[in-house]
Structure 1
């Protein structure tokens, strides 16, 4: 019997644009705010959704008024103001939720590890009061927005970022 020689298989050729060098992305505050922005508006400053939420981070008018921002057209045209408003809101939410952050971080609720960044993102979605209700009820008091986004989904999606540079401040200003 004769041994059959097998032909070598052709090498697979990949398109030149495929890049397997995926960059390392830190899970710091900048990554956190950009992830939230992408979820909210695909990171676009001039977006107004069907419910009237505005800008890169989809602020409601009453939240903007808390920071003495009344001209929504000017707000949409000012990326620097939107960035400052997001940081200020994170500071206020961190102050409002400071005890809940301390009490709940590291716990598992409904299969989700609770982290400070997840809590701050959930507060951006639903307001700090709804996050308090969720955490203090051990996840039985739930919230979803008009588009179906939930506190749970934000706790999970935005958990694990280092947001320690945000200092809790009841009176944060833009």
Structure 2
């Protein structure tokens, strides 16, 4: 009896599968869902992969928000409470003198107020844009020491070294460069932050909070 069961069970299974004509293995993929070429988007999860392809998140596009967040990431990794060894403060690493120029004199309140830090950054960009407006008109599109000069690069460099030093760099065609306390130069920021569209921020003389 057991031998008969062992022989007939496989035969029954084969009969059932054949009655479906193996349709379960022949599912037709709709034309719209067929992959015809490799996807152009890769999503590496490993930190080492990001470093290898020189991608440093966050990346929020090439408009003003992308510009300010990329700059913040370079300055403090986006940390509102950061204070470096030279006393520069906040997400965008402002010094006391720059804060005073835009109307902020309480550094503790500044550090504890992310909304104020964002407003100070925007006012400072508007102020620098006014100071450098003639140099932006003159030099954008030119190349200095192999670096294409862009408005966003100029304003990032002004954030690093001050608008006066950026004027000297541009007007000397790169012969007069300066660096911050950690060795970062104007040329570095001109290159690193080039090509962002920051037309959203208008130049304002003596922009203040």
TM range (shorter): 0.7 to 0.9
Return 5+ residue gaps in structure 1 as ranges. Answer: 1-18
RMSD after superposition: 1.6
Do the aligned partners of residues 41 and 106 (structure 1) sit closer, same or farther apart at CA in structure 2, a change above 3 Å counting? same
Of 45, 68, 71, which residue of structure 1 is paired with 2:103? Answer: 68
Do the aligned partners of residues 24 and 63 (structure 1) sit closer, same or farther apart at CA in structure 2, a change above 3 Å counting? closer
Give the secondary-structure state (helix, strand or coil) at the position aligned to 2:208. Answer: coil
State the TM-score, normalizing by the size of structure 1. Answer: 0.86
Of 86, 102, 120, which residue of structure 1 is paired with 2:155? Answer: 120
Q: Which is bigger in relative contact order (C-alpha 8 A, separation at least 6)?
A: 1
Counterpart for residue 39 of structure 1: 74
4+ residue segments displaced more than 4 Å: 21-25
Distance (Å, rounded) in 2 between the aligned partners of 1:25 and 1:95: 26
Distance (Å, rounded) in 1 between the aligned partners of 2:60 and 2:182: 29
State the TM-score, normalizing by the size of structure 2. Answer: 0.72
Offset at residue 173 of structure 1 (A): 1.9
Return 5+ residue gaps in structure 2 as ranges. Answer: 1-40, 45-57
Q: How big is each residue's C-alpha offset from its partner over 1:33-69, in whole Å with a ceiling of 9 and x where there is no partner? A: 0011000001000000000000000000000011221
1:55 equivalenced with 2:55 (yes/no)? no
Distance (Å, rounded) in 1 between the aligned partners of 2:142 and 2:152: 14
Offset at residue 150 of structure 1 (A): 0.4
How many residue pairs get aligned? The number is 156
Of 184, 192, 201, which residue of structure 2 is paired with 1:149? Answer: 184
